[in-house]
């Protein structure tokens, strides 16, 4: 009888023990509780293609980190919400990730309008936020927890193009520019370098017009540029308006010396859908898959194997690079304390696929001046000269 | 003001407006005849565009041929959609509201299906003549604009002739004008509604292909197209085929002239300001009947 009683007591204690331990944090038990990195991406809607590439880049980073034993000895995992390409939802999900899910870290969102709005949320809750940001103004709000690593800066976008143009003999440079800009913060941010450099190089801005999206028709834009003999065309917009402008330029046989396009030409669809008509367009970037920094080859090999692509798409790289920065901040601080991570990032150099970076008080690295040109259906880096992948084609050959 | 710029802007504006009219004419019919505000109408236009894109990229089929093939195919699909989804709505107390909610849901489902099948990447319909022009003096008539315009003319004229000259077409018009009277004359309203819906959807397919010749498209593009649909239908008058076509032309002219005379950032303001003016002062449109 006594034996039976003690058997029951043992069983009871065992069960209580199981129940209690089940409720304890895994870390207390020695099991590694995952580090949860939360936020939202535009996985459906207008920016879905880009959002999905960012997610792939982030997930590849997580695979790599987990394969090497995780971060601070813990595996990493994502809690990704789909903000459906809506800024208001991106803000809501950032709040939710921080206050409801209580995630350990935040990841960067897209596009710039969403990132800019989330930067304020991150600052309010004192969470480190590594993203592309929303151009220069977003980094001039006094935020201390936001970092652009690398950022997508309209103000720097054409810096490389103009630096290259300045190397040409003055008589070979364009003389008259037509500038058409989408009327939103992204488009307007591109004007910064155009205004500075056209003055410096003596290029006359003959047309300087804004348009609201959607661009119903680019024919009048091109007719005007052609009539006013503009030999340099800036199409400061996204993919849909960029394509409409290029198609009209070809249909109207408008052949300026150079066409410079905003951010429409950096997505893979530009080359795939426009084919040879998309060739010779100049643009900028803050990341490029043929950069000679550690990690790029590995990423290129991965996307070749997984997606059959020659070189990783830009936003795959962005997603990866932002996580690289966050990872180094966490490792450097040896903590998930957001202020410690921030302080470490402010005072140390990080190494990313976009190159080594230090950050100023606004969370920005020194200006990036890459210039690309699409040549033979490939995005080639033509500036800075020392890391050039192809000689630029200039003046642009006439339409075929 | 440079006359070449004005005329060139007018030409391309009119062609663009006519393409929106083709997409809008079916939207107008379902609204006028069936009291169904078909929010997923433009998604069927996108389906047409993706169909043409696939045939062009895989087999080199010209988009005009695709438009001819997609029209009967979408007619059949639309008959099925009508039977399964729209017909049960006739029991709803508020047909207009119920139809909007239902077709809004349908639009979301179809959009996601488009993402699944064709991915979210933007696409371009680029037949060999995609960037070619017919040059007349100083003017350039872009082939994609011309073909979109021609498709629209044919589509709208066919629909007009069908409604005016055939017995079924007359029954559609009778149902639109007075459903009870039409029923008394032996018109089968369900059959007429199904034909109207199917016609509307099949013209949407052709309209989508015409638009895809002009612009890039992606699965969410229907949201943008829908705004233009409301514009042409409200300006033209709900249920009025010719009104919708003329509204397309008028909007094209206004857009063209705005682009020639005003800063470009004013164009959308003027176009959609026009929509508000119509909604306030002439809600039945330019060519619609009061009430």
pLDDT in tens, A291-329: 989 999 999 999 999 999 888 998 999 999 999 999 999
Residue A7 confidence (pLDDT) = 53
Chain B residues with CB inside 8 Å of A248's CB? Answer: 142
Least confident stretch, A192-201, B32-41, B268-277: B268-277
d(CA A35, CA A46): 30
List of E strands, A76-196? 76-82, 105-106, 129-131, 146-148, 176-182
A74 within 8 A of A33, measured Cβ to Cβ: yes
The A-side interface with B (CB below 8 A) comprises: 44-46, 48-49, 52, 85, 180, 183, 209-212, 214-217, 219-221, 223-224, 227, 239-240, 243-244, 247-248, 250-253, 267-269, 272-275, 277, 399
B121 within domain boundaries: yes
**Domain count within chain B:** 1
Q: How close B11 gets to chain A, by Cα (Å)?
A: 10
What sign for the dihedral angle of Cα B27, B31, B34, B38? positive
pLDDT of residue A65: 97
Tell me whether residue B291 is in a domain: no
Sheet holding A378-383, edge to edge: A204-211, A176-182, A232-236, A258-261, A281-285, A370-375, A378-383
Contact criterion met (CB < 8 Å) for A220 and B133: no
Indicate the Cα dihedral angle A249, A255, A258, A263, nearest 10°.
10
Within 216-275 of B, beta carbons closer than 8 Å to A belong to: 216, 218-220, 224, 255-256, 259-260, 263-265, 267-269, 271
**How large is the average pLDDT for residues B272-283?**
86
B252 found inside a domain: yes
pLDDT in tens, B195-223: 999 999 999 999 999 999 999 999 989 99
What proportion of chain B, given as a percentage, has pLDDT over 90? 53
pLDDT digits 0-9 by tens, A45-63 = 778 888 999 999 999 999 9
Q: Is A88 exposed, middle or buried (0-12, 13-18, 19+ CB in 10 A)?
A: exposed
The residue range of the domain holding B71 is 3-128+135-281
Cross-chain Cβ contact B215/A240 below 8 Å = yes
pLDDT for res A22: 42
| CATH hierarchy code of domain A156-285+370-387 | 3.40.50.2300
Backbone angles phi, psi at A135, to 5 degrees: 70, 180
| B269-274: average pLDDT | 86
Using a CB-CB cut-off of 8 Å, the residues of chain A touching B219 are: 48
Within a domain: B273: yes
Residue numbers of chain A with a pLDDT score lower than 70: 1-31
* B25 to chain A, closest Cα gap in Å: 19
Q: Tell the CATH topology of A35-153+292-357.
A: Rossmann fold (3.40.50)
| pLDDT attached to residue B33 | 84
* Interface predicted TM-score (ipTM): 0.85
A344 in helix, strand or coil? helix
The per-residue pLDDT for A8 is 56
Q: What is the pLDDT of residue A194?
A: 96
Is A217–B140 a contact, with Cβ atoms under 8 angstroms apart? Answer: no
Domain annotation covers residue B289: no
Q: How many CB pairs under 8 A join A and B?
A: 121
Contact A161, A177 (CB under 8 A): no
Q: Taking each helix axis from N to C terminus, what angle separates B63-81 and B41-59, rounded to the nearest 10 degrees?
A: 140
Position B233 in a domain: yes
CA dist A256 and B41 (Å) reads: 40
What pTM does this model have?
0.82
Q: Do A183 and B265 touch (CB under 8 A)?
A: yes
Give how far A296 is from chain B: nearest CA, Å. Answer: 24
Give dist(CA B28, CA B23) in Å, integer: 9
Per-domain boundaries in chain A: 35-153+292-357, 156-285+370-387
The CATH number of whichever domain residue B80 belongs to comes to 1.10.3470
**Nearest CA of chain A to the CA of B122: how many Å?**
6
């Amino acid at each position: 009888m006594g034996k039976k009683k003690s058997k029951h007591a043992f069983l009871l204690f065992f069960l209580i023990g199981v129940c209690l331990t089940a409720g304890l944090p895994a870390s207390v038990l020695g099991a590694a509780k995952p580090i949860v990195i939360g936020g939202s991406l535009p996985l459906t809607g207008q920016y879905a293609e880009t959002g999905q590439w960012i997610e792939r880049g982030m997930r590849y980073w997580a695979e790599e980190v987990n394969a090497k034993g995780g971060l601070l000895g813990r595996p990493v995992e994502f809690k990704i919400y789909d903000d459906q390409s809506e800024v208001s939802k991106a803000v809501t999900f950032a709040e939710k990730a921080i206050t409801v899910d209580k995630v350990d870290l935040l990841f960067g969102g897209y596009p710039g309008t969403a990132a800019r709005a989330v930067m304020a949320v991150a600052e309010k809750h004192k969470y480190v936020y590594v993203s592309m940001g929303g151009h220069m103004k977003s980094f001039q709000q006094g935020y201390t927890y936001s970092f652009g690593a690398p950022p997508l800066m309209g103000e720097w976008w054409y810096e490389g193009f103009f630096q290259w143009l300045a190397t040409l003999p003055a008589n070979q440079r364009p003389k008259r520019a037509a500038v058409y800009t989408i009327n939103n913060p992204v488009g307007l941010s591109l004007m910064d370098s155009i205004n500075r450099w056209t003055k410096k190089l003596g290029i006359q801005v003959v047309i300087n017009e804004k348009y609201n999206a959607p661009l119903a028709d680019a024919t009048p834009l091109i007719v005007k540029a052609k009539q006013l003999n503009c030999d340099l065309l800036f199409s400061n917009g996204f993919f849909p308006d960029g394509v409409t402008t290029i198609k009209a330029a070809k249909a109207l046989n408008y052949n300026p010396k150079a066409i410079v396009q905003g951010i429409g030409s950096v997505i893979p669809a530009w080359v795939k859908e426009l084919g040879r008509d998309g060739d010779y367009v100049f643009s900028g970037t803050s990341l490029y898959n043929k950069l000679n920094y550690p990690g790029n080859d590995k990423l290129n090999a991965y996307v070749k194997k997984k997606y059959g692509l020659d070189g990783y798409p830009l936003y795959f790289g962005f997603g990866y690079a932002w996580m690289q920065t966050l990872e180094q901040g966490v490792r450097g601080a040896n903590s998930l304390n957001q202020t410690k991570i921030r302080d470490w990032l402010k005072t140390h150099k990080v190494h990313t696929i976009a190159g080594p970076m230090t950050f100023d008080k606004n969370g920005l690295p020194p200006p990036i001046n890459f210039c690309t040109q699409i040549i033979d259906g490939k995005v080639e880096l033509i500036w800075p000269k020392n890391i050039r992948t192809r000689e630029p084609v200039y003046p642009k050959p006439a339409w075929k | 003001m440079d006359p070449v710029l004005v005329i060139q802007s007018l030409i391309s504006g009119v062609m663009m407006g006519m393409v929106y009219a083709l997409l809008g004419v079916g939207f107008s019919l379902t609204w006028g005849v069936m009291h169904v505000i078909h929010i997923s109408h433009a998604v069927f236009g996108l389906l047409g565009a993706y169909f043409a894109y696939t045939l062009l990229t895989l087999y080199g089929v010209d988009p005009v041929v695709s438009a001819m093939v997609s029209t009967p195919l979408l007619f059949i699909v639309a008959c099925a959609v009508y039977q399964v989804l729209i017909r049960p709505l006739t029991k709803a107390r508020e047909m207009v509201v119920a139809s909007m909610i239902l077709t809004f849901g349908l639009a979301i489902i179809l959009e996601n299906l488009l993402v699944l099948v064709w991915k979210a990447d933007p696409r371009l319909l680029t037949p060999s003549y995609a960037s070619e022009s017919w040059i007349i003096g100083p003017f350039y008539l872009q082939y994609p604009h011309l073909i979109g315009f021609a498709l629209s003319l044919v589509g709208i004229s066919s629909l007009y002739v069908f409604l005016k000259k055939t017995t079924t077409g007359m029954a559609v018009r009778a149902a639109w004008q007075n459903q009870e009277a039409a029923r008394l004359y032996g018109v089968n309203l369900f059959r007429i509604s199904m034909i109207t819906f199917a016609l509307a959807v099949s013209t949407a397919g052709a309209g989508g292909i015409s638009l895809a010749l002009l612009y890039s498209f992606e699965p969410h593009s229907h949201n943008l197209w829908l705004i233009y649909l409301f514009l042409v239908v409200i300006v033209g008058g709900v249920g009025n085929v010719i009104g919708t076509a003329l509204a397309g032309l008028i909007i094209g002219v206004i857009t063209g002239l705005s682009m020639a005379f005003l800063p470009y950032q004013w164009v959308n303001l003027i176009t959609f300001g026009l929509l508000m003016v119509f909604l306030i002062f002439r809600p039945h449109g330019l060519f619609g009947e009061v009430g």
